[in-house]
Amino acid sequence: MPKSLIYDVAQRAGVSIKTVSRVVNNEPNVRENTREKVLAVIKELNYRPNASARKLASQKSYLIALLYDDPSLYDNPSSNYVLNLQQGALRICKSETYDLLIHPCDYRDKNLNQEVSSLIHNSRVDGLLLAPPLSDQKSLIETIAATDTPFALISPGNKTLTPLSVFTNDREVSAEMTEYLAFLGHKKIAFIKGDPEHKALQERYSGFKDGMRNSGLKIEKNFVKNGDNSFGCGELFAKQLLSLKNPPTAIFCCNDDMANGVLRTAYKMGIKVPDSLSVAGFDDIPLAEQTNPSLTTIRQPVRSMTEHALEILMDKVKNRESKISPDDLLIKAKLVIRESTGKAPS
């Protein structure tokens, strides 16, 4: 199958190359029957426009960059999150004939701003999508905004930042989980916080506080730990908490990795879960289904979240009215109740 050019199509359809171009790009001012004729020839010749030529002539890149924090830098098992991001982004890009440039970063890297701005300049991307925690980095956002490149965020919590953002209800659902634990009879509930730079994780802590208040429970100071999202710190803090003379009966962790660490410590200390201790996580990584016991947690629909965010971005990139209603912007997470939570010991 020899690759055909726009000229071939034009000639065979008896029109000018410009008309073919109009059809290909869905531009107006083409009569319906000529459009059909051209489309037929395109199909017949299996014509695909040369991406580089389009880009060069149109001064666009047809490229969307997906920026995310690279979990393999910490070698943790939540990489599934990234794959879901990519999948969602890929799907929308494909449907809009854009390409996707994946760009794993280290959100702690001090040169991040420079790295991203050179990405924008060198690759001349038409738009950027930022996943948390990169979407929390204020100076990064400002850097990008200064380049006038459209961007969208997957962002936790509040809606004030920018209109180009999809939001999660981390706070509300964390409150819900807390209330669920209270409902099970737990009164001594511990919380292991995550990285403070991760805004979503802060929101989860706020949600925990809400939930405790709503349940008429008060938070004991030494039941709250400052974790760093890692399995290891879940282990460590569990050891501390469970060695207390008056230990908590439930531990709610900011993410599944830490919850898994708690599970391990409980196992080692011979503390039965959920009989003597309830454990809850957040994220619903695939592993959560496979732990002993399996983990009660909270699931976020990462893929559809990403797809929404990217659709918003594409609207911006293509300068068209957004069809996404504000209601669609809030992506709701849900409790997933498994084996690691149960009635409070009496």
Partner DNA sequence: AAGAATTACGACAGCGCTGTCTTTAGTTTA
Partner DNA sequence: TAAACTAAAGACAGCGCTGTCGTAATTCTT
Q: Please tell me the count of residues contacting DNA according to CB under 7 A.
A: 28
Binds 244, which of a copy of itself, DNA, none (CB < 5 to 8 A, cut-off by type)?
A: none
Q: Which helix (H) or strand (E) holds 243?
A: helix 231-243
304 binds a copy of itself (CB under 8 A): no
Tokens of 124: 């001349």
The shares of helix, strand and coil residues in the chain, as percent rounded to the nearest 5, are 50, 15, 35
264 binds a copy of itself (CB under 8 A): yes
Q: Which stretch binds DNA (CB under 7 A): 45-53, 238-246, 272-280, 292-300?
A: 45-53
- Residue whose CB is less far from DNA, 31 or 221: 31
Tell me the closest approach of the beta carbon of residue 8 to DNA, in angstroms.
8
Q: What is the Cα–Cα distance from 32 to 126, expressed in whole angstroms?
A: 31
Span 138-177, contacts to a copy of itself by CB under 8 A: none
Please say whether the beta carbons of 281 and 288 come within 8 A: yes
Binding residue (CB under 7 A) for DNA from 1, 2, 26, 31: 31
Binds 24, which of DNA, a copy of itself, none (CB < 5 to 8 A, cut-off by type)?
A: DNA
285 binds a copy of itself (CB under 8 A): yes
Please say whether the beta carbons of 104 and 70 come within 8 A: yes
Q: How big is the chain, counted in residues?
A: 346
Binds 34, which of a copy of itself, DNA, none (CB < 5 to 8 A, cut-off by type)?
A: DNA
Q: What separation in angstroms does the CA of 321 have from each of 96, 128, 299? A: 15, 18, 31
Q: Which residues pair with 103 in a beta bridge?
A: 67
121 binds DNA (CB under 7 A): no
Please say whether the beta carbons of 254 and 233 come within 8 A: no
Q: What is the Cα–Cα distance from 213 to 208, expressed in whole angstroms?
A: 9
Q: Is 250 helix (H, G, I), strand (E, B) or coil?
A: strand
70 binds a copy of itself (CB under 8 A): yes
- Residue whose CB is less far from DNA, 18 or 272: 18
Chain residues that interact with DNA, rule: CB under 7 A? 5-7, 14-21, 24-25, 28-31, 34-35, 47, 49-50, 53-54, 56-59
